[in-house]
Amino acid sequence: MVQDDLTIRIGGEAGMGLESSGAGFAKALTRGGLYVFGLPDYYSRIRGGHNFFSIRVARQPLYSHAEPVHVLLALDTETIRRHVDQIVPGGAVIYDEKDGMPEELHRPDVNFCEVPLSALAQEKGGREVMRNTLALGVTAGLIGFDPTYMERVVRDNFASKGQAVVDANLRVIEAGVQAGCPFQTDFSFKMEAVPDAPPRMILNGTEAFSLGALAGGCRFVSAYPMTPGSPVLHWFAARAADYGVVIKHAEDEIGAINMAIGAGYVGARSLVPTSGGGFALMVEALGLAGITETPVVIYNAQRPGPATGLPTRQEQADLLFTLYASQGEFPRFVLAPGTIEEAFFAGWHSLNLADRYQTPTLVLSDHYLAVASRTVEIDALGFDEVTIDRGELLTTEELDALDEPYRRFKMTQSGISPRAVPGHANAVWVSTANEHDEYGAISEDAANRAAQVDKRARKMAGADQESPKPSWYGPEEAKTTFVCWGSTYGPLREAVDRLNAEQPNRANMLHFSGLHPLHAEATEAALKRTNRSIVVEGNSTGQFETLLRSYTGFVPDAAIRRYDGRSFSPKYILGQLPQEV
């Protein structure tokens, strides 16, 4: 039987290499013409505990993970204990002969396959740790996936480590495929490769955002490690030399943002990736960028707070904090990409907004978007659409022609003052964190103060047009409209599909990725189109609902909120629906 949607889950302790082998398998499936949604689940520890990596694979595009498991690769007994209940009838557990199988975990409707994973990995590969690769080989055999795709990924991934390592991995995969399971031939869930499929890509939100930022001319990245924001710094660090980017692992988040402001001030397109706790430390400097009108982009991959919260888990509870962080008032943009495509767009669009409006721009990502990987079409990332627009940045020629003392904070109708960077004899000025006059000199004059506040605020007149319009998914007319933002897009999209598959026009979805300012006209029009509305978001107080209500007066009919540290899934959303939907 050819299945069109199944989930393979590999579980074990931290340090067993689940994520890298899982990512390799996900890549092989993608190359095999299938669509993948990969989601790691891990604890904030380096060894021990229980981690797992879920690979959902299908013949059609996927936007979310799903809970039912079809094949469970248990690298320890704890994996069976925790996940055996989620296995669908007819599914399989592959476990190590060395670990055995406790009788009380047995399920008569599930196939259990004992393989000498450790022994075979040691024998064929020379290292016991390769048993995860071996187990994936068993899986390929089980689901009928052509292992050649895995072998090619091994060749690409391990080429730099030498032929011996490549060969060892290839032997281990082959041993896995041949090890087989007694029920292999009549296993219910098969996922054969689609050999003639067009080439596709697989990436997570971290990679998509980073690619967008690099394409958009980001040349300076400073950060302090904090999950799940730091992978952006890792991504840039690995490419810094090749693409002419300066990266700086700073002493703390305060140092990181101030470095980015220094770099932005002298003219580099600068980015600070972090998570909520790190962003909390950056808040004073955010105001410095605001009052000195210095471009900088801050990427906050949210995780549950407050304080350390749940470091490796999901929440969308930094929204209002991000909107209002800092004492005082100044303009800002807040983008909240929900998909791989939107993350790429936010990468370069945020840099343009920061430069053109000379003000900080914040990108609100989250754990789910940052770590979940998805197969997308080859043209999913709009490299051709990328522009580098520096706004009113004075050129050397324009500065050469300047015939009056330079006014960095010149009063203009748009509120945007033509910007110079230090280094030209005709534009020598001082900027200050204090309120200042047009030239940059400290001023406590009341009229000047009001005028400068107004000037900065004026930059945002009409700037809502820069925010992405809310997007619709599903039928034009539906009984219920789900309203969401950020990464809730994927799971909610599938929930909508499932509802409409049961009964047409039951639900549609309105998704926001431009949170501040809201695109006024499009938002108003969209909200008018809703019948019964349910706001779905990952926090306990309904922050987006508050935002919508305060800026538009919109009051939804119901809310679904999740704040247990876990990501939304289609099943979770459907399980929370009010009776009437």
- CA distances (Å), origin 393, targets 118, 235, 262, 267, 418: 61, 29, 16, 9, 6
Identify which of residues 242 and 476 has a Cβ nearer to another protein in the complex.
242
Nearest to 559, CA basis, from 550, 242, 540 = 540
Identify which of residues 124 and 356 has a Cβ nearer to another protein in the complex.
356
Residue 261 touching another protein (CB under 8 A): yes
Residue ranges in 131-170 that form contacts with another protein under rule CB under 8 A: none
- CA distances (Å), origin 216, targets 142, 204, 320, 467: 44, 18, 27, 17
Contact 82, 50 (CB under 8 A): yes
Selected range binding another protein among 116-124, 170-178, 251-259, 560-568, rule: CB under 8 A: 251-259
Identify which of residues 168 and 221 has a Cβ nearer to another protein in the complex.
221
Residue 338 phi, psi (nearest 5): -110, -15
Order of strands, edge to edge, in the sheet holding 296-302?
A: 246-249, 220-223, 270-274, 296-302, 360-366, 333-335, 514-516
- Least distance CB 258 / another protein (angstroms): 4
Number of residues that bind another protein (CB under 8 A): 68
N-term to C-term CA, the chain: 34
| Token pair 């707070």: residue | 305
Identify which of residues 324 and 383 has a Cβ nearer to another protein in the complex.
383
Residue ranges in 283-302 that form contacts with another protein under rule CB under 8 A: 284-285, 288, 292
Which tokens sit at 231?
């992978």
Is residue 544 classed as helix, strand or coil in its secondary structure? helix
Among residues 244, 328, 504, 553, which is the contact residue for another protein, using CB under 8 A? 244
Identify which of residues 267 and 273 has a Cβ nearer to another protein in the complex.
267
- Least distance CB 393 / another protein (angstroms): 10
Identify which of residues 221 and 463 has a Cβ nearer to another protein in the complex.
221
Among residues 259, 335, 370, 416, which is the contact residue for another protein, using CB under 8 A? 259
DSSP 287-334: HHHHHTT--EEEEEEE-S-STT--TTS-----HHHHHH-SSS----EE
- Least distance CB 379 / another protein (angstroms): 10
| Token pair 């009838």: residue | 89
Sign of the dihedral defined by the CA atoms of residues 53, 59, 65, 68, in that order: negative
Among residues 83, 248, 332, 455, which is the contact residue for another protein, using CB under 8 A? 248
What is the rounded distance in angstroms from the CA atom of residue 285 to the CA atom of residue 3?
53
Compute the chain's Rg from CA coordinates: 26
Q: Which residues contact 28 (CB under 8 A, 6 or more apart)?
A: 145, 149, 150, 152, 153
Among residues 123, 251, 377, 502, which is the contact residue for another protein, using CB under 8 A? 251
- Least distance CB 353 / another protein (angstroms): 16
What is the rounded distance in angstroms from the CA atom of residue 227 to the CA atom of residue 52?
17
Identify which of residues 245 and 510 has a Cβ nearer to another protein in the complex.
245
Binding-residue pattern over the window 210 to 239 for another protein, x denoting contact by CB under 8 A: -x--xxxx-xx-x-----------------
Which tokens sit at 195?
């050999």
Among residues 19, 41, 96, 207, which is the contact residue for another protein, using CB under 8 A? 207
- Least distance CB 563 / another protein (angstroms): 32
Among residues 39, 92, 166, 202, which is the contact residue for another protein, using CB under 8 A? 202
Which tokens sit at 239?
């490419």
Residue 243 touching another protein (CB under 8 A): yes
What is the rounded distance in angstroms from the CA atom of residue 468 to the CA atom of residue 382?
15
Residue ranges in 86-105 that form contacts with another protein under rule CB under 8 A: none
What is the rounded distance in angstroms from the CA atom of residue 56 to the CA atom of residue 5?
7
Contact 340, 211 (CB under 8 A): no
Contact 311, 268 (CB under 8 A): no
Identify which of residues 221 and 334 has a Cβ nearer to another protein in the complex.
221
Identify which of residues 9 and 27 has a Cβ nearer to another protein in the complex.
27
Residue 328 touching another protein (CB under 8 A): no
Identify which of residues 163 and 434 has a Cβ nearer to another protein in the complex.
434
Residue ranges in 16-45 that form contacts with another protein under rule CB under 8 A: 27, 30-31
Selected range binding another protein among 261-269, 362-370, 464-472, 559-567, rule: CB under 8 A: 261-269
Among residues 213, 232, 233, 260, which is the contact residue for another protein, using CB under 8 A? 260
Residue ranges in 403-462 that form contacts with another protein under rule CB under 8 A: 421-425, 427-434, 441-442
Alpha-helical segments (H) within 482-542: 489-502, 520-528
Strands 220-223 and 246-249: parallel
Identify which of residues 115 and 201 has a Cβ nearer to another protein in the complex.
201
Identify which of residues 401 and 430 has a Cβ nearer to another protein in the complex.
430
- Angle at CA 91, nearest 5°, toward 85 and 96? 85
Identify which of residues 5 and 284 has a Cβ nearer to another protein in the complex.
284
Is residue 242 classed as helix, strand or coil in its secondary structure? helix
Selected range binding another protein among 47-55, 71-79, 88-96, 382-390, rule: CB under 8 A: 382-390
Selected range binding another protein among 45-53, 93-101, 102-110, 207-215, rule: CB under 8 A: 207-215
Among residues 28, 154, 240, 301, which is the contact residue for another protein, using CB under 8 A? 240
Alpha-helical segments (H) within 159-203: 163-179
Identify which of residues 186 and 444 has a Cβ nearer to another protein in the complex.
444
For residue 142, the surrounding DSSP H or E stretch is helix 131-143
- Least distance CB 568 / another protein (angstroms): 25
- Least distance CB 473 / another protein (angstroms): 25
The contact set with another protein (CB under 8 A) reads 27, 30-31, 199-203, 207, 211, 214-217, 219-220, 222, 240-241, 243-246, 248, 250-252, 254-255, 258-270, 284-285, 288, 292, 378, 381, 383, 386-388, 390, 421-425, 427-434, 441-442
